[in-house]
């Protein structure tokens, strides 16, 4: 591994460390979201409903940014494939790109649902 490749990999790992912190924040927001949703359903608290709608919209907006980062990273790997790379590497990098694309698409769909469904009757899930 050249120095340039090593620097690029270390920078990528630093960004991924930041993404882990973002995921921890999303987990905390999700716990809060669940408590507000519970409060809305148990006590019919309309203010809680509005708060939990805004939080789920924020969560999916943040996730879209993360998903786009991984999609760009996977696309860069795909674009940098060489004819001399093994068949398995080309296949796995291609599958990684397709998977990242599908995750990004699902994030946009879930964000759309969170924005449009005022009652949030559709169960939203994210990974």
What pLDDT is recorded for position 127?
Answer: 46
| Domain definitions of the chain by residue range | 3-116
What is the reported pTM? 0.85
Q: How confident is the model over 70-82, as pLDDT tens digits?
A: 999 999 999 999 9
What average pLDDT does range 22-37 have in this prediction?
A: 94
Count CA atoms closer than 13 A to 91's CA, side-chain side: 3
Closest CA to 12 of 69, 90, 91: 69
Q: How confident is the model over 37-59, as pLDDT tens digits?
A: 999 999 999 999 999 999 999 99
Closest CA to 63 of 10, 106, 32, 13: 106
Percent of the chain, pLDDT > 70? 94
């Amino acid at each position: 591994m050249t120095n340039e490749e090593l620097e690029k990999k270390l920078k990528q790992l630093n960004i991924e460390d930041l993404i882990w912190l973002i995921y921890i924040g999303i987990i905390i927001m999700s716990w809060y979201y669940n408590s507000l949703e519970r409060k809305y359903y148990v006590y019919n608290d309309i203010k809680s409903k509005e708060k939990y709608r805004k939080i789920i919209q924020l969560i999916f907006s943040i996730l879209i940014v993360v998903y786009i980062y991984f999609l760009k990273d996977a696309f860069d790997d795909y674009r940098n494939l060489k004819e001399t790379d093994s068949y398995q590497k080309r296949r796995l990098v291609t599958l990684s790109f397709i998977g990242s694309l599908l995750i990004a698409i699902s994030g946009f769909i879930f964000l759309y649902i969170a924005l449009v469904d005022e009652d949030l009757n559709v169960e939203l899930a994210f990974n």
